[in-house]
């Protein structure tokens, strides 16, 4: 049995090296489905030689195992997909294990195991795989790996995008690859007739459904840029638009805590290149290390953080007298004159 990464598997598929059995573990079902489509396309499988079964809905896989041992119809290969094999009961699992020990080369059996905690403990399947079978782990993408996936997918569409806009996309949409793929497709259509294929923050906001004036990161960015005047103006606009005070407070507290961590590390003598990592910053946020030099000392900032905590409690218990005064007071105590 071979263990491959998703990237290695893609190369194998492109070269025509397709195994008789694939065991896909991990929680990222989207990438499992995408690479399965690549296998089906590479083998040029027609509807007569493609079968799919969900083990969560059926308790008997006898027929599908018989099919796996049958030569394809007027083709070189057939593909069988078994989803949720982690739901198999004892007898069907025995039938599957027996097949895995001696698979038919003209069949490509693709197994989706979607319970990684169970997979790590139970080695029944991995120990049964033949030497020419392949195991691939599909972890959910996070951080740098998710950013790389996004960049690769933008590049595949002929689009360019900078790190700040990528971060905004991730913050607005989350890490759901299906939703992110849809947004990339929408952006591709939006920029289809534009000569410059660089996706801007305005493009992203427009595609998702925000106007430039409704930028959900405007207050966050104003605080991180130490732009007191802009931050106060945005608070006024948000309150007039009916934004809940607690939601506005979150847009202040998140960047405030980030700046506070940077300031404390800088005062402790931590080198700038280490602050980026220790403060939990993304690589493109390294500029904040120099921005933090203009902040008040950390003991003064700590008092502002305490006021944020007090404001949070007041908003949640409806004991704040004037939300606008409280929120603007936080900006005045946090940002330098």
Confidence at residue 172, expressed as pLDDT on a 0 to 100 scale: 80
334 HSE (CA, 13 A, CB side):
32
- pLDDT, tens only, 240-262: 888 899 989 988 998 899 899 99
What's the mean pLDDT in 286-299?
84
- 337 vs 9: CA distance, rounded Å: 56
- 27 vs 39: CA distance, rounded Å: 20
Q: How confident is the model at residue 102 (pLDDT cuts 50, 70, 90)?
A: very high
- 38 vs 14: CA distance, rounded Å: 9
Confidence at residue 15, expressed as pLDDT on a 0 to 100 scale: 94
- pLDDT, tens only, 148-174: 999 999 999 999 999 888 888 887 888
Range with the poorest average pLDDT among 60-64, 73-77, 177-181: 60-64
Q: What is the pTM of this model?
A: 0.66
Confidence at residue 59, expressed as pLDDT on a 0 to 100 scale: 67
Residue 187's Cβ-count burial label (10 Å; 0-12, 13-18, 19+) is: buried
Is the model more confident about 59 or about 106?
A: 106
Alpha-carbon torsion 32, 4, 176, 201, what sign? Answer: negative
Q: How confident is the model at residue 319 (pLDDT cuts 50, 70, 90)?
A: confident
- 177 vs 30: CA distance, rounded Å: 7
In 196-244, alpha helices (H): 201-208, 218-224, 228-240
Instruction: Kindly state the percentage of the chain with pLDDT values over 70.
Output: 97
- 332 vs 258: CA distance, rounded Å: 17
Which domains occur in the chain, in start order?
2-137 (3.40.50.300), 143-213 (1.10.8.60), 218-334 (1.20.272.10)
Instruction: Give the containing element (helix H, strand E) for 132.
Output: none
């Amino acid at each position: 049995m071979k263990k491959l990464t998703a990237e290695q598997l893609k190369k194998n598929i492109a070269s025509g090296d397709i195994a008789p059995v694939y065991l896909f573990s991990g929680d990222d079902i989207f990438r499992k489905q995408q690479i399965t489509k690549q296998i089906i396309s590479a083998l040029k499988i027609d509807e007569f030689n493609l079968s799919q079964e969900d083990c969560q809905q059926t308790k008997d896989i006898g027929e599908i195992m018989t099919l796996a041992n049958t030569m394809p119809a007027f083709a070189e290969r057939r593909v069988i997909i078994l989803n949720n094999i982690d739901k198999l009961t004892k007898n069907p699992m025995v039938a599957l294990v027996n097949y895995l020990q001696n698979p038919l080369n003209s069949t490509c059996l693709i197994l989706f195991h979607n319970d990684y905690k169970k997979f790590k403990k139970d080695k029944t399947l991995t120990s049964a795989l033949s030497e020419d079978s392949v195991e691939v782990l599909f972890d959910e993408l996070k951080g740098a790996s998710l950013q790389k996936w996004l960049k690769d997918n933008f590049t595949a569409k002929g689009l360019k995008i900078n790190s700040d806009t990528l971060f905004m996309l991730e913050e607005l949409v989350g890490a759901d690859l299906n939703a992110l793929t849809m947004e990339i497709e929408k952006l591709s259509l939006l920029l289809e007739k534009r000569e410059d294929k660089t996706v801007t923050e305005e493009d992203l906001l427009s595609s998702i459904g925000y106007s430039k004036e409704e930028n959900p990161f405007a207050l966050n960015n104003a605080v991180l840029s130490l732009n007191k005047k802009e931050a106060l103006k945005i608070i006024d606009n948000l309150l007039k638009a009916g934004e809940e005070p607690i939601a506005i407070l979150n847009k202040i507290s998140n960047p405030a805590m980030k700046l506070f961590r940077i300031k404390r590390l800088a005062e402790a003598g931590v080198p700038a290149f280490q602050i980026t990592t220790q403060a939990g910053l993304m690589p493109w946020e390294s500029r904040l290390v120099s921005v933090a030099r203009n902040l008040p000392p950390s003991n003064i900032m700590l008092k502002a953080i305490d006021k944020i905590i007090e404001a949070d409690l007041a908003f949640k218990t409806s004991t704040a007298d004037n939300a606008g005064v409280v929120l603007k007071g936080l900006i005045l105590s946090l940002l330098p004159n």
